[in-house]
Amino acid sequence: MKEKTLNKKPNGMPMLILLAVLYIAAIAGAIFCTVSLEGAENNGGYIAGAIICVLYIMLGWILFGGLKVLKPQEAIVLTLFGKYYGTLKGEGFYWVNPFCQSFNPAAKTKLGQSSDVTTEKTPAAGAQGFTNAKISLKVMTLSNAKQKINDCLGNPVEISIAVTWRVIDTAKAVFNVDNYKEFLSLQCDTALRDIVRIYPYDVAPNVDTTGDGMADDGSLRGSSEIVAKRIRDKIQDKVAEAGLEIIEARITYLAYAPEIAAAMLQRQQASAIIDARKMIVDGAVGMVEMALERLSQNNTVELDEERKAAMVSNLLVVLCGNKDAQPVVNSGSLY
């Protein structure tokens, strides 16, 4: 079902004045006809007039039901005897067919960090209040709750997203799905699970995240922009039938699940230590090579292979050790 916009001018104020004047005229006419019946010989016309005025007084309030007030970025979906009548858009004071009803099945549904629904209360509404059936066309935010999902390696991770969205087709939103807000929330959950299962939390070997059959460096932690874009596109595909537009999706929280967080922290620490040690060893080997080269160039001392091996061993111990070396001075001969 496609949206049908009612191209109506804001005619609410003239109609309100007209209906008020007619109501006052009906009351005055009923009083006049009742008073005139006492002295009139032919009172048939006065009786008919009084009946018409009384009927209008009793039923004329129905016409006031056609008055609608719209604020900026609001819309009302109207149905007439069960059929889609049209959508009223644009701020202003309108009058429509009083038998039209506002329809919004998601009027009472509230989403996290989304101010699209408010429960308004009028002074005469009492404790139960009045539900606003208007549809907000503003840009809104859905803050998805944390979910525990296994990544492509089977590691449980906790992740949550914030989705920026808006309604672009009111007819699809209210008629194609039962509740477009609950539908959006559910599709965000399923799309998030579908995408997260493709990626590892951190870069892992032999993992294909793009589907081209080649291993790549994609990960949830390192490719957050790409992951967010894929989540956004996935959600958009799922909610297009509901007349919704997904503007943006962002990862707001990402961490290992508590049951493996400590083990993964130790793994990261071990990896960092190995990388640091590798850097230290590479630097130490370079310094040893430089020392031997300088000694041989300047003919400072001639060392045989055994002495070179001992020197290399001593230098590596000094350069790669965790603690400062304690030098020992040899006052005797090297041989």
What are 286-331's pLDDT values in tens digits?
888 887 777 777 676 677 777 777 777 777 777 776 666 666 666 5
More confident: 105 or 36: 105
Which pLDDT belongs to residue 329?
A: 61
pLDDT band at 163 (very low <50, low <70, confident <90, very high): very high
Q: What's the whole-number average pLDDT of the chain? A: 81
> Would 110 be classed as within a structural domain?
no
Q: Which residues lie below 8 Å from residue 96, measured CB to CB, with a gap of 6+?
A: 6, 8, 66, 68, 78, 88
What is the identity of the amino acid at 151?
D
Which pLDDT belongs to residue 130?
A: 46
How many distinct structural domains can be found in the chain?
A: 3
249 beta partners: 163
Kindly give the pairing relationship between strand 140-143 and strand 74-80. Answer: unpaired
Q: Is the pLDDT reported for residue 332 higher than 60?
A: no
DSSP state, residue 144:
P
Q: How far, in Å, CA of 127 to CA of 289, rounded? A: 87
Contact in structure between 91 and 119 (CB atoms under 8 Å): no
User: Do 96 and 183 lie in a common domain?
Assistant: no
User: Do 185 and 200 lie in a common domain?
Assistant: yes
User: Do 91 and 34 lie in a common domain?
Assistant: yes
Least confident of 47-61, 85-99, 105-119: 105-119
User: Do 246 and 156 lie in a common domain?
Assistant: yes
Q: Is the pTM of this model over 0.85?
A: no
User: Do 162 and 224 lie in a common domain?
Assistant: yes
Which pLDDT belongs to residue 78?
A: 92
Which pLDDT belongs to residue 76?
A: 92
User: Do 173 and 246 lie in a common domain?
Assistant: yes
Average pLDDT, integer, range 246-266 = 82
Q: How far, in Å, CA of 129 to CA of 122, rounded? A: 7
User: Do 219 and 273 lie in a common domain?
Assistant: no
pLDDT band at 120 (very low <50, low <70, confident <90, very high): very low
Q: Is the pLDDT reported for residue 124 higher than 50?
A: no
DSSP state, residue 98:
T
> Would 3 be classed as within a structural domain?
no
User: Do 150 and 235 lie in a common domain?
Assistant: yes
> Would 134 be classed as within a structural domain?
no
Domain that holds residue 148: 140-256
Rounded to 5 degrees, φ, ψ at 176 are -80, -25
> Would 331 be classed as within a structural domain?
no
Contact in structure between 150 and 126 (CB atoms under 8 Å): no
Q: How far, in Å, CA of 167 to CA of 208, rounded? A: 35
Q: Is the pLDDT reported for residue 90 higher than 80?
A: yes
Return contacts of 193-196, CB within 8 angstroms, 24+ apart.
Answer: 193/147, 193/149, 194/234, 195/227, 195/230, 195/231, 195/234, 196/149, 196/151, 196/157, 196/159, 196/220, 196/227
Nearest to 93 by CA among 21, 175, 168, 19: 19
Contact in structure between 151 and 221 (CB atoms under 8 Å): no
pLDDT in tens, 181-214: 999 999 999 999 999 999 988 888 888 888 888 8
User: Do 232 and 148 lie in a common domain?
Assistant: yes
Instruction: Count other Cβ atoms within 10 Å, centred on residue 210.
Output: 12
User: Do 145 and 231 lie in a common domain?
Assistant: yes
Q: Is the pLDDT reported for residue 334 higher than 60?
A: no
Exposed/middle/buried for residue 77 (C-beta within 10 Å: 0-12, 13-18, 19+): buried
User: Do 267 and 244 lie in a common domain?
Assistant: no
More confident: 306 or 157: 157
> Would 2 be classed as within a structural domain?
no
